[in-house]
Amino acid sequence: EDVLQGEEDRREDVLQCRALGERALRNGEVAEGIRLLEKAMRLGGCPGLEDTLRAARAAAEGATTAPTPARAQEQAELNGGLVPERYAWSQTKETVELNLFVPEDAKARDVKVEVSESNLRITHNGATLLAGEWEFKVEPEEDVDWELKRCHDRRALRLLVRKAPMPGGMSVSVWWSGLLKGEPQIDVKNIEARQRDRDKSAEFKKAWTEAHAMFKEAVKNRTPIPIDLSGATQ
């Protein structure tokens, strides 16, 4: 029974990763979509998943070209910022990406990345490179998604985490003003995607208010319909 329960839990993880991956692809977040689909494959896969992943990879290869250094730098700081000599970070509605500068000779085997719901700690050969409490909670994964790459022409550790949903199932996008509490902050009012969300919310509120006013006016001006009760049974 324990084996069957374990297989069922793993299958749910696969289906959840696939659903999140496909949603990311629909939202235009190709890299995130592919990452989640690849993770679903590592967890065991499911019918049709391999074809979906193959199509996503083919679309990504056909639609993208090698980014210029300036473009790569812009992406590393999108909706986030640069903390000189330490790290760059960016965010979307659902994820946060960190590019932490590490020694040029850093090897993956010498790096340890610890991610919990509330805290982050990254060490290299036992020395702490970055540690602290997330600005908001994240959804830690069993298989933490990190790699060593180039960023700002330096060796960096790239880490991607998912933002935790708001309590109560509220469908609200939370834009972070900083990566960790106590770290340098940005002004979230300057985030274009946030402003677009606010504009859409304002438009919806205006439309709802106008519709409600029209309904109240229609009720106010409604002519009562007389009902003849003279023949009603006593």
What pLDDT does 135 receive?
96
Phi then psi dihedrals of residue 176, to 5 deg: -80, 140
Q: Which of 213, 108, 217 is nearest to 156 (CA)?
A: 108
Please state, in angstroms and rounded to a whole number, the distance separating the CA atoms of residues 24 and 36: 9
pLDDT at 170: 58
pLDDT score, position 70: 62
pLDDT of residue 3: 45
- Amino acid of residue 8: E
pLDDT tens sequence for the chain (234 residues): 544 555 677 788 889 889 988 988 887 888 888 988 998 898 888 888 998 998 888 888 766 555 566 666 667 788 899 999 999 999 988 899 999 999 999 999 999 999 999 999 999 999 999 999 999 999 998 888 899 999 999 999 999 999 998 776 556 778 999 999 999 999 998 888 766 655 555 554 566 676 666 767 766 777 776 766 666 555
Cα(78)–Cα(75) distance, rounded to whole angstroms?
A: 5
Any idea what DSSP says for residue 181? T
**Are 177 and 186 a contacting pair, CB within 8 Å?**
yes
Single-letter code of the amino acid located at 7: E
Burial class (CB in 10 A: 0-12, 13-18, 19+), 147: exposed
Q: What is the pLDDT of residue 154?
A: 94
Q: Which parts of 54-107 are beta strand (E)?
A: 81-83, 87-91, 95-101
Identify the residue whose tokens are 């210029």.
68
- Residue 121 confidence (pLDDT): 97
pLDDT in tens, 79-118: 899 999 999 999 988 899 999 999 999 999 999 999 999 9
What pTM was computed for the model?
0.60
Length of the chain: 234
